[in-house]
Structure 1
Amino acid sequence: MFTMVRFKIWNGAAAFIAAAVAFAAPATAQPRIDLSAVPHQVGAFEPLSSNIIASFEEGNFLESVIVLSSGDLLITEIQSRTIWRVDPSGARAPFHQSDIQPVGLAVDIDGQIVLSGSTADGNAAIFTFKDDGALDRTILIEGAQFLNGVAFVAPGQLLVADSGGGLIIHVDIESEESRIWSSDESLGVHPDRSPLLPGVNGLKVFDGAVYATNSSRTTLLRIPAIGLDYRAGSPEVILQDISFDDLAIAADGTIYGTTHIFDSVVRIEQDGSVTTVAKTEQGVAGSTAAAFGRRAEDRNTLYVVGDGGFYLDPENPAPANVVAIGTDEPGLSLEASFSHIDYPNMEPAARMTMVRCMTVPGSDERRRAVAPDYDRFLKLNIARIAFAGEVYGDGREAELTARLYFMHGLDEARAEGIMESSPYLIEGVYSSCDAVPFDAMPGSIAWPDELSRGR
């Protein structure tokens, strides 16, 4: 059972949030962060093909991006408190706009959209949405400082970076309970660097581990997710002296990072070598987040959003762009990001035969008359019938068109022989019953619910 906890307070968190979210700090003629004091390796510049697919006017702050199964992008814009829906051609429309302060986005395996941010009165929270953009639920995260990047470590199990508190928090979306997942010192801010640089920031899951950026410490961390409860292992610094905001991971493990204040996108090979693949001239000024496409035609496309340099220099921002960058490898699929999930008690799926019995239109009176005998027929064959159900041609308000019976341990001839004795077939409720082989795929019968949820 998870417990609600109060998180430790980071001195200066309120000031950081005011600067990072409300942008109340006055504009100055010089950038607000001394870049010379922030270690950042860039490697060789090898630009990839790119295309600006959408452009928001100066002063917009595009903070996070996810790609839906439809191919559309969802993008948070902090200034107007809007989540935009943008299709790959660049057409856009508001998905959700309210007094919520939107920050980080993630999508679960079932399509559930979640957002990190804060309520109108400034309380840190996780929000869930319906498919049409309507707010579904608000899950308050008591004591959190500044919720930022989010990623699912398992279906329904969310990790969220608290950039102000230097924590990663685990949230069970169904129970709405939260706990500290990791409070390792490596997640906190660097004591000698600008307070405008957040601590743990972007999160992604790959090959049984959580990859986390720390913008203040200019590090990329790998944190193992251990066991069926996905507890945090010890963080390992796998790259340092590089200023990442968010990251996206390709199927082969190649990492693409957005550098935000350094106006670029950087590729990290598996051997640790660094290459800059896009800069301001490619439209990625103030690059904040990235996500790979999910359709066959754009799986090799990296979508990058940014703030046009607004955060670094609010007096001189460029347009905030959505840029499509062509890469040489497809992105990590959502399914593959859960490759670490194990089901030790999973049972083999049963081999079955499916029988489809077609219903005669207008046979309701006959069906009611013979229903008691049919009910007895089902009970006498209950050991053979795994499950059965009704099929409607056009929704449940339409007329019943067929019934399906899934039988185990029987071949097609034997299954049809049993159905020849069905009172529904004998009395003309069914016009015919035909059997075909059916190989059951894993489902709730093979994967008990508590295992499919990773408990």
Structure 2
Amino acid sequence: MPRLPHLAGIAVTAVALGVLASAPASGDEPIVSHPRVVAHFDFTAGQTPENIALEPDGSADLTFAFARQVANVTRHGDIRRRVTLPAVAHPNTPLVHNAVVLGIARAHDGTLYVNYATGTSKTGIWRIAPHGGRPRQIVKLPPNGLPNGLALDEHRGVLYAADSVLGVVWRAPVTGGRRTAWATGTALDPVPSGTGFGANGIKVHDGAVWVSNTDRGTLLRIPVRRHGSAGRIQVRAADLDGIDDFAFTSRHGDTVLAAVDSTNEVAVVRPDGTHSVVLTQQDGLTNPTSVAVSDRTVYVPSASYFATEPDPNLLLARLNRG
């Protein structure tokens, strides 16, 4: 979620790896431990990591929002640029005013899908083939919106995009084509007097689509009905002011690790809605934007949007229990 970064050389008015699995943890151990930063990025070049998808080898595919790039970062911190989204003449993205690459999702065959927000007809979901090549727009989304988080449901063959400005969860087939407004409502909207960022992070999990709302500080669950329509929006956690994207600690449990970018924290959100901080600025976080979990490894990209001395980076830690 890009917000108010001061990128050298970029005019922006935005409101924004290899820890091995350990033996079973005791009840006295923290849920997350052993944090370390494995890669640092170039803030002045727009390498502000916004979202993350994991590869089978444990490397991370990151969207660099203001560089319009997708990069791959190994568990040892080696960085390789995968693709750059095409430049757009006179971008007019709401809140951000620049062309930015935001959410990312990965299919099992290695295909990547990303949200590209430009304020033009190029706004939408773009596909990147498993072995690279030129990215291709497969879904058009409203240019007056800000498609932020992106989630893939391969079982149903659909993509979900959370629009932070319009307060909509868009749904579209993975093959591309027509989008539909799958879920709408006040719970997804930004607060009128807030930052302008409503629905932000999004995940498909255990028969539902989960969405964070940055302005409202909420984590929402939207059941997917039998025929694919959206059920009633449920508030599963509140008082998470500044929440960005998030990840579940296991496939079937409802425990979440959420990036809280405004306070440089990652919080654990329990199934009963209670939450507590597990990682902080002292661990290396600087405006974290998203979280990914694989086995016992936690990945946290930080975009460093607000920092006096910016240090965009990728941190990893060990997940001791879920």
* Cα distance, 1:119 vs structure 2: 5.6
- Secondary structure in 1 matching 2:38: strand
Q: For residues 186 and 94 of structure 1, what CA distance do their matches in structure 2 show?
A: 37
Is the Cα contact below 8 Å between 2:138 and 2:176 reproduced in 1? no
- The match for 1:303 is 299
1:188 paired residue number? 189
Q: Distance in 2 between matches of 1:122 and 1:285?
A: 33
Does structure 1 retain, via aligned residues, the 8 Å contact 2:60–2:73?
Answer: yes
**Separation of aligned partners in 2, 1:104 and 1:90:** 21
Deviation of 1:142 after TM superposition, in Å, equals: 4.0
- Relative to its length, the structure with more helix (as a share) is 1
Matches within 5 A, 1:373-384: none
Partner SS state of residue 232, structure 1: coil
How far has the Cα of 1:47 moved from its partner? 6.3
Aligned to 1:436: none
- The offset of 1:153, in angstroms, is 3.0
Question: 2:36, 2:212 → 1: CA distance?
Answer: 26
Q: Corresponding residue for 2:41?
A: 56
Question: In structure 2, what is the equivalent of residue 230 of structure 1?
Answer: 228
Which residue is 2:208 aligned to?
209
Residues 344-372 of structure 1 deviation map (CA, whole Å, 9 limit, x = unaligned): xxxxxxxxxxxxxxxxxxxxxxxxxxxxx
Distance of aligned partners of 1:20 and 1:140 in 2 relative to their CA distance in 1, 3 Å threshold: farther
Amino acid at match of 1:321: N
The answer to whether the 8 Å contact 1:127/1:135 transfers is no
Partner of 2:246 in structure 1?
Answer: 247
Distance 1:103 1:272, change over 3 A: same
How far, CA to CA, are the matches of 1:49 and 1:17 in structure 2?
27
The aligned amino acid for 1:182 is A
Query: Is this contact kept in 1: 2:129–2:135, CA < 8 A?
Result: yes
Per-residue deviation, residues 127-149 of structure 1 (Å, max 9, x unmatched): 11112222343124242511110
Q: Which residue of 2 aligns with 1:170?
A: 171
The verdict on how the C-alpha distance between 1:142 and 1:106 changes in structure 2, with shifts beyond 3 A counting, is: closer
Which residue of structure 1 lines up, in the alignment, with residue 90 of structure 2? none
Q: How does 1:303-452 map to 2 (within 5 A)?
A: 303-308=299-304, 310=305, 312=306, 316-329=308-321
Residues 65 and 260 from structure 1, CA distance in 2 versus in 1: closer, same or farther, beyond 3 angstroms? same
Q: CA RMSD in A?
A: 2.7
Deviates more, 1:155-164 or 1:17-26: 17-26
TM-score of the two chains, using structure 2 as the length reference: 0.81
Equivalent residue of 2:187, what SS? helix
> In structure 2, the residue corresponding to 1:270 is in which secondary structure?
coil
Larger Cα Rg: Structure 1 or Structure 2?
A: 1
Q: State the alpha-carbon separation in 2 of the partners of residues 103 and 85 from structure 1.
A: 15
CA contact (8 A) 1:104 1:148 kept: yes
- The answer (yes or no) to whether the contact 2:85–2:135 under 8 Å persists in 1 is no
User: Contact 2:139/2:176 (CA < 8 Å) preserved in 1?
Assistant: no
User: Any stretches of 5+ residues in structure 1 without a counterpart?
Assistant: 1-15, 34-44, 294-298, 331-455
Secondary structure of the equivalent of 1:135? coil
For 1:253 and 1:219, the matched residues in 2 are separated by 15
- Contact 1:161-1:202 at 8 Å conserved across structures: yes
Partner of 1:199: 198
Any conservation in 1 of the 2:139–2:179 contact (CA below 8 Å)?
Answer: no
| Per-residue Cα deviation, 1:126-178 (whole angstroms, up to 9, x for no partner) | 11111222234312424251111011234430000111111000011215221
Aligned to 1:435: none
Q: How many residues align?
A: 288
CA contact (8 A) 1:18 1:24 kept: no
C-alpha offsets along residues 298-341 of structure 1, whole Å, 9 cap, x if unaligned?
x1111000112x2x35xx142111000111247xxxxxxxxxxx
Q: Which residue of 2 aligns with 1:97?
A: 84
Change (3 A) 1:135 1:118: farther
What is the letter of the counterpart of residue 143 of structure 1?
P
Partner of 2:289: 288
State the partner residue of 1:141.
140
Q: Distance in 1 between matches of 2:64 and 2:13?
A: 20
Give secondary structure in 2 for the equivalent of 1:65: strand
Partner SS for 2:282: helix
What secondary structure, in the 3-state scheme, does the structure 2 residue paired with 1:231 have? coil
5+ residue gaps, structure 2, are 17-29, 88-99
Tell me what 2:125 maps to: 126
CA deviation vs aligned residue, 1:363-382 (integer Å, no higher than 9, x gap) = xxxxxxxxxxxxxxxxxxxx
Aligned to 1:430: none
- 1:73 and 1:120 map into 2 onto residues whose CA distance is 28
Superposed displacement of residue 184, structure 1: 1.5
Greater relative contact order structure (CA < 8 Å, 6+ sep): 2
Q: How has the CA–CA distance of structure 1 residues 65 and 18 changed in structure 2, closer, same or farther, with 3 Å as cutoff? A: closer
Residue in structure 2 matched with residue 274 of structure 1 by the alignment: 275
